[in-house]
């Protein structure tokens, strides 16, 4: 199982990503941290005040699976081509909305560069007029922009178009219908059996007979972890009754609130000793690329 092919730094920029499946169409909804007091945080070390901004909704998974290979043990492997189309009708505003977020380049640089070079790094940050926070459009933060300090493309999901997710090996369900589409591989990313567990499907489909009393497990390669969604309501979609599942707040809560998330907290600096919620550091995949 490969993960984070794009190897972006997902440090605190994205608050939540929810996968919504309506009539077989998969949407990814994003909420961003909009930091209200960047100057105070930088000058006085105040606690960041963040407003959640979103959802910004993208249609994903609309491209057909590629390189499908069937194995003789009731499993099949495939690649998922990545693509995202903005869906204004399901978003709070246009992609051009501005938000103040953690600067991925600056925040990430400190953990990637040896301590001895931090002084040089600080000079680089100054001369490029960068700071720990930056004000950019939603589109730039999610899909990429040229960073003035690193002179490379940065972005939570950059590059995305034209890349692949996978490969996935899933059960066909031929010998057990309840296993249809569930992923059979494990991660070797978080260095922890709990965090490396892949539960459920890739979220493009689920086994039939969804039971609304049970959580729905799926794996999101963007954040490199399994999550579970709980049933929240029944929605009428053009005359069809559909179930709405939502991610419980505990999913992205800090380990102080949800101890299960301890193994996802690998960056003590950015997460302030694992007390900041929603910060998921997937930068260590650089080593494993």
Ligand X SMILES: *[C@@H]1O[C@H](CO)[C@@H](O)[C@H](O)[C@H]1NC(C)=O
Which residues make up the interface to ligand X (CB under 6 A)? 39-40, 43-44, 67, 71, 73, 75, 79, 83-85, 128-129, 143, 161, 164, 169, 184, 191, 194, 197, 199, 217, 226, 228, 272-273
Choose between 52 and 176: whose C-beta lies nearer to ligand X. 176
Choose between 40 and 97: whose C-beta lies nearer to ligand X. 40
Choose between 221 and 235: whose C-beta lies nearer to ligand X. 221
Burial class (CB in 10 A: 0-12, 13-18, 19+), 142: buried
Count other C-beta atoms under 10 Å from residue 216's C-beta. Answer: 22
User: Min. distance of Cβ 264 from ligand X in angstroms?
Assistant: 9
User: Min. distance of Cβ 145 from ligand X in angstroms?
Assistant: 10
User: Min. distance of Cβ 110 from ligand X in angstroms?
Assistant: 12
User: Min. distance of Cβ 241 from ligand X in angstroms?
Assistant: 26
User: Min. distance of Cβ 237 from ligand X in angstroms?
Assistant: 24
Give the contacts of 170 (CB within 8 A, at least 6 positions apart): 75, 76, 77, 78, 181, 182, 183, 184, 201, 202
Choose between 96 and 236: whose C-beta lies nearer to ligand X. 96
Distance (Å, whole) CA 157 – CA 144: 7
Choose between 97 and 184: whose C-beta lies nearer to ligand X. 184
CA distances from 168 to 7, 66, 70, 146, 223 (A): 18, 11, 12, 31, 16
Is residue 106 within 8 A of residue 130, CB to CB? The reply is: yes
């Amino acid at each position: 199982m490969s993960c984070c092919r794009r190897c972006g730094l997902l440090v605190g920029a994205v608050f939540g990503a929810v996968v919504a499946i309506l009539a077989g169409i998969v949407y990814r909804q994003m909420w961003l941290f909009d930091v209200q007091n960047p100057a105070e945080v930088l000058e006085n070390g105040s606690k960041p005040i963040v407003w959640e901004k979103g959802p910004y909704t993208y249609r994903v998974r609309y491209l057909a699976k590629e390189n499908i290979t069937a194995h003789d043990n009731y499993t099949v492997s495939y690649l998922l081509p990545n693509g995202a189309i903005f869906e204004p009708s399901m978003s709070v505003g246009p992609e051009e909305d501005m938000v103040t977020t953690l600067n991925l380049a600056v925040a990430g640089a400190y953990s990637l560069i040896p301590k001895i070079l931090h002084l040089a790094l600080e000079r680089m940050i100054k001369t490029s007029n960068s700071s720990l926070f930056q004000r950019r459009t939603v589109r730039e933060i999610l899909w990429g922009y040229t960073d003035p300090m690193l002179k490379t493309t940065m972005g939570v999901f950059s590059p995305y178009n034209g890349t692949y997710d996978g490969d996935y090996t899933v059960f066909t369900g031929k010998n057990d219908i309840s296993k249809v589409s569930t992923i059979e591989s494990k991660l070797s990313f978080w260095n922890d059996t709990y965090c490396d567990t892949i539960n459920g499907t890739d979220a493009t489909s689920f086994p039939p007979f969804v039971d609304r009393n049970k959580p729905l497990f799926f794996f999101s390669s963007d954040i490199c972890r399994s999550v579970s969604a709980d049933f929240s309501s029944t929605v009428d979609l053009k005359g069809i009754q559909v179930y709405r599942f939502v991610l419980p707040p505990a999913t992205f809560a800090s380990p102080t609130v949800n101890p299960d998330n301890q193994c996802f907290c690998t960056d003590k600096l950015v997460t302030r000793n694992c007390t900041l919620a929603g910060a998921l550091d997937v930068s260590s995949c650089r080593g494993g690329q």
